[in-house]
Amino acid sequence: MKVTEHIANAKGETLFSFEIVPPVKGKNIQELYNNIDPLMEFKPPFIDVTTSREEYVFIEKDGLFEKKVTRLRPGTLGICASLQHKYNVDTVPHVLCGGFTKEETEYLLVDCQYLGIENVMALRGDAMKGEKYFTPTKGGNCYAVELVEQIQNLNQGKFLLEQIQTENTPEFCIGVAGYPEKHMEAPSLQSDLKRLKEKVDAGADYVVTQMFFDNKKYFEFVNAAREMGITVPIIPGIKPLAVQRHLSILPQVFWIDLPQDLIDAVEKCNTNKDVRQVGIEWCIEQSKQLKAAGVPVLHYYSMGKSDNIKAIAAAIF
């Protein structure tokens, strides 16, 4: 079932969903199951599975270092298929511009159709590790709006090299990212909202926001988006703080602000266990307020760990 259909069927009730990261190469999927199992009691209608772009590694060969391309966390599509089979839940694979040609993207989407996957999250992706700015892959999409357009073309039977007349063309429900505190590369929030409007006009069906820790940022973002004519569901993405270094890492990586009350509470902690509890309590209050406001879904960035997400969900759902 499509994400938008899950939202419509909920008839105003706030749904619970979360996002997982594939295990690194060499890890067993059982560890992933062990972290998902405790969350299934809250009946998530869908689970997002992230993907990663390629990165360079240097391998020593004959006394010299040879540059090779690798992927640290492959297997997104396989994990999606496994989760659908094991839990009877819809999955949302993340599809990136960076690291993939348009042909590779088409093959991925065709595989999604074969597997009965109806939802995809269309993202530009980050710069390659070690590079400051995003560089498009040769033969790939440069921006998320182009990726949305490619997916919509497939929905209409328009493949890269041919148009197929069939009743079995894909009907992907397309999610895209939104940034309550603007994308780090955008010159202004208004400019960033224009880019979001372009993605929606190209065929995006819903928006999931980047993490935020001040609900006011989300509400203002939604109001501004509505004023611009963006009418699709806007799902808040939430991440509980878990370790002390999140105070410095999250603002650096995601260009977000943390509320001073949260900073003060974390700085008083003596251990990361204390920080984790502060993160849980803050996230519970965030979630209560968002749910009371009638958000369609509370979407949690779990990063593959479930203990804190379970504690939050138990207090909300």
- Distance in angstroms (rounded) separating the CA atoms of residues 101 and 117: 21
- Angstrom distance (rounded) from CA 85 to CA 198: 35
Alpha-carbon distance of 2 to 141, in angstroms, equals 24
Q: Please identify which of the residues 13, 19, 31, 220 carries the catalytic annotation.
A: 19
- Cα dihedral: 209, 211, 213, 217 (round 10): -30
Nearest to 180 by CA among 206, 125, 218: 218
Q: Is 19 a catalytic site residue?
A: yes
Q: Which residues are catalytic?
A: 19
